[in-house]
Structure 1
Amino acid sequence: MIRLLIVDDSPLMRKLLTDIFAAESDFEVGVARNGPEALAALPVFKPDVITLDIHMPEMDGLACLDRIMVERPCPVVMISSLTAEGADETLEAMALGAVDFVAKPRGPVSIEIEAMTSLLVDKVRAAARARISRATRLTERVRLRTTRPPAPKPRPTRLSQTNKPRVSGGDEGLVLVGTSTGGPAALDVLLGQIPADFPWPIVIAQHMPASFTGALARRLDRFCPLVIEEVTRPTPLIAGHAYIGRGDADLLVTRRNGALAALPAPSAPELHWHPSVDRLVTSAMDHVAPERLIGVLMTGMGADGAKAMTALAGRGGLTIAEAEESAVVWGMPGSLVAMGGADHVVPLDAIAGRLMSLIQP
């Protein structure tokens, strides 16, 4: 049984969430009305996972989360609004160690919550299995470094070293990154270690709502050496920059006037997650020689990106899967490994160093 603690000051939300999870056969549910009650329940109820509202009296969700991660680290899924303020607060929660978030319905909660039930249950189940020891406080550890860290020493991979040669950074090329659950903190670590003079553009598909990806790009841009921006219109791809696809849409690589560009596109209805990693990688292979592409698949539930990156590896491109030991959820990178498409399997804090070692000056 998964022991779930629901923390929300709204009696209606507590009831609706309790009913949703009580209807599942694998959940035992406890409730708390505010932060102090939640902290008191930790040693008694001993939850495997927590859903936590951000806006509560007495102690808000961020303060409660901070205490949880210090006193009894546990996977937490934040319940947040889709407003700009809600996006900033949710990203702050990710930095404090929350595994994932679910956006509150925009309209009447009792009517619209049914539409989000399946996603909510899936996310809480995935969070209950998440590894949080390495994810907790990752961003703070990165930001404590006052100088650029040396490239991490190479670590053994699960797979034998690929025979593919390194590629020249002086020629046209792209790094394609896919991530989902646990992704904001993982991107902070990855991009925080890549220098401003990195020779290739980096294009990122992070599963998120549209109201969150702009806030994510701005947050990363403040703390990382690269210039980081959200793609909201056709955008030329420039070395030393990283580009985050707008949420609730897809992100494509194309050419405009002969130069590489990122293009936002309506989400493909046949695909489950957006921005779609599979669609991003496939579009890049249509416009760039596969041997000039490096795919990086990091933490996230599901398998988005695994199929396209396996195809990329088969056509001569290089691929990196985040190692199970560091991934919050090893669904996406684990699927790439299972398909035989990962040239390198590398812990999160060593991915940047591996990227730089694969691209010749």
Structure 2
Amino acid sequence: MNRIKVLVVDDSAMMRKAVRQILETDPDIEVIGTARDGEDALRKDQELHPDVITLDINMPVMDGLTSLTLLLEQHPEVQVVMVSSLTQEGAITTFEAMELGAFDYVAKPSGTVSSNLHVVGRELIAKVKGAAQQKRRRRRTAPGSTRPAPAVKKSVPIGENRETSFRKVVVIGVSTGGPGTLMEILPQLPANLDAALIVVQHMPPTFTASFAKRLDDYCPLSFREAKAGDKLARGEGMVAPGGYHLVLKKNALRDDVMVRLTSQPEKSLFIPSVDVTMNSVLDLFGRRTVGVLLTGMGSDGAEAMVRIRQAGGITIAEDRSTAVVFGMPREAIERGGAEIVAPSYNIAKEIVKAVNRI
């Protein structure tokens, strides 16, 4: 197989060096050039024809969003992975970039401190490889047209007149490649879904609120970032906040279910953990649980998917053909935890069917 050709774009020479060193630890990746700003990136893209570009957001001369738009106009087949700062502003800009056509993002652990980028080296490599795989599959939509149509405004504002006495919960676990995959799936779910919905996306703490807002804007279902004490409600979705595990607590007196946020277990590889949340939902809802495991590295969620299926719940895993990283869903499938295996574009239909089956 040909090596993946990558162009690294960043205004910091130290960051360009760090990203190059990280990527070149993988024998399947070749860094064919670097660029110091957006204008330089456009020139290098024309000259080198990379498969993937890693693109800094905050740059002089030409910023990342402007660069992204021009790069995709100039080279529609190229895939772009944004490199973002861990700030609220950085999160908003990152999701704007993804709406414009960026494949995914990797967050800088400490602003622009290049040495800390090595902490997310595995994630960066996985996302570059996932971007190259997506390029080979052929882009599903044209550059600049990846933004889904905004959802029809909800007739009942979130939190008002909600049905908090319900019987079914859908839990979706996802990691690398998740934002784009979720934006393909969740807008297809109906506003009257007969279940509460929880999304556990491995994401930094400063990113989950912006991501939940993005989902709320484009999905018929209402979405919000979960907070301690929030009540689950039928036909509403919540995103587990970065930095905490989301677990559920039953309030027997009021017959509702509340969110509890915890740092335990501390030794989880991912916080929030898909396994922790799925197990908590299963403990309360048993066979009325629908577990969904999508693209991501590792095995988070696979063990809980097995438990859900053994308890009589319904489990759905993303098929290899569409998974950006076929790690988490593969683990669930190989362990026998996936009753249904489907490509991402059919997952929403399978969720609706599963909810109606219960």
Give how far 1:25 is off.
4.7
Pair 1:16-2:21 in alignment: no
Deviations 1:333-352 (A, max 9, x none): 22222222211122222222
Q: Is the 8 A contact 1:96 1:136 kept in 2?
A: no
Corresponding residue of 2:239: 244
| Distance 1:107-1:333 versus aligned 2 partners, 3 A rule | closer
Pair 1:342-2:338 in alignment: yes
Q: Read off the aligned partner of 1:209 and give its amino acid letter.
A: P
The one of 143, 148, 162 equivalent to 1:143 is: 148
Corresponding residue of 1:166: none
The one of 220, 224, 228 equivalent to 2:219 is: 224
Pair 1:277-2:274 in alignment: yes
Q: Is the 8 A contact 2:166 2:233 kept in 1?
A: no
Corresponding residue of 1:309: 305
The worse-fitting range, judged by mean Cα deviation, of 36-45 and 236-245 is 36-45
Q: Is the 8 A contact 2:248 2:258 kept in 1?
A: yes
| Distance 1:112-1:97 versus aligned 2 partners, 3 A rule | same
Q: Is the 8 A contact 1:173 1:201 kept in 2?
A: yes
| Distance 1:65-1:303 versus aligned 2 partners, 3 A rule | farther
The one of 163, 168, 172 equivalent to 1:173 is: 168
Q: Is the 8 A contact 1:95 1:138 kept in 2?
A: no
Corresponding residue of 1:262: 259
Give how far 1:216 is off.
0.5
Q: Read off the aligned partner of 2:276 and give its amino acid letter.
A: R
The worse-fitting range, judged by mean Cα deviation, of 324-333 and 136-145 is 136-145
Give how far 1:91 is off.
1.1
What SS does the corresponding residue of 1:355 show, helix, strand or coil?
A: helix
The worse-fitting range, judged by mean Cα deviation, of 25-34 and 129-138 is 129-138
Corresponding residue of 2:57: 54
Q: Is the 8 A contact 2:166 2:234 kept in 1?
A: no
In structure 2, distance between residues paired with 1:100 and 1:85:
17
Corresponding residue of 2:351: 355
Pair 1:299-2:304 in alignment: no
In structure 2, distance between residues paired with 1:20 and 1:352:
36
The one of 84, 87, 90 equivalent to 1:86 is: 90
The worse-fitting range, judged by mean Cα deviation, of 171-180 and 24-33 is 24-33
Deviations 1:19-53 (A, max 9, x none): 44445555422211222332333354333332110
Written as runs of structure 1 = structure 2, the 5 A alignment for 1:29-108 is 29=31, 30-70=33-73, 71-106=75-110
Q: How many residues align?
A: 339
Q: Read off the aligned partner of 2:348 and give its amino acid letter.
A: A
Q: Is the 8 A contact 2:79 2:132 kept in 1?
A: yes
Give how far 1:244 is off.
0.4
Q: Is the 8 A contact 1:69 1:136 kept in 2?
A: no
What SS does the corresponding residue of 1:40 show, helix, strand or coil?
A: helix
| Distance 1:66-1:329 versus aligned 2 partners, 3 A rule | farther
| Distance 1:88-1:347 versus aligned 2 partners, 3 A rule | same
| Distance 1:117-1:345 versus aligned 2 partners, 3 A rule | closer
Pair 1:202-2:197 in alignment: yes
Give how far 1:261 is off.
2.2
Give how far 1:106 is off.
2.6
Give how far 1:139 is off.
9.9
| Distance 1:133-1:63 versus aligned 2 partners, 3 A rule | farther
Return 5+ residue gaps in structure 1 as ranges. 149-169
What SS does the corresponding residue of 2:173 show, helix, strand or coil?
A: strand
Q: Is the 8 A contact 2:299 2:331 kept in 1?
A: yes
What SS does the corresponding residue of 1:359 show, helix, strand or coil?
A: helix
Task: Determine what percentage of the aligned residue pairs are the same residue.
Answer: 40
Corresponding residue of 1:161: none
Return 5+ residue gaps in structure 2 as ranges. 154-164
Q: Read off the aligned partner of 1:52 and give its amino acid letter.
A: L
Give how far 1:104 is off.
2.2
In structure 2, distance between residues paired with 1:273 and 1:330:
17
| Distance 1:357-1:139 versus aligned 2 partners, 3 A rule | farther
Give how far 1:285 is off.
1.5
Q: Read off the aligned partner of 2:10 and give its amino acid letter.
A: D
Corresponding residue of 1:330: 326
In structure 1, distance between residues paired with 2:11 and 2:118:
20
Deviations 1:91-140 (A, max 9, x none): 12222333332222436715534444454445444544456645656995
The worse-fitting range, judged by mean Cα deviation, of 191-200 and 12-21 is 12-21
TM-score, normalised with respect to structure 2: 0.84
Give how far 1:186 is off.
2.0
RMSD: 2.8
In structure 1, distance between residues paired with 2:107 and 2:352:
36
Q: Is the 8 A contact 2:127 2:177 kept in 1?
A: no
Query: Which structure has the higher relative contact order (CA within 8 Å, separation 6+)?
Result: 1
What SS does the corresponding residue of 2:58 show, helix, strand or coil?
A: coil
In structure 2, distance between residues paired with 1:31 and 1:324:
32
Pair 1:211-2:206 in alignment: yes
The one of 314, 319, 330 equivalent to 2:315 is: 319
Give how far 1:5 is off.
1.3
Q: Read off the aligned partner of 1:143 and give its amino acid letter.
A: P
In structure 2, distance between residues paired with 1:57 and 1:197:
46
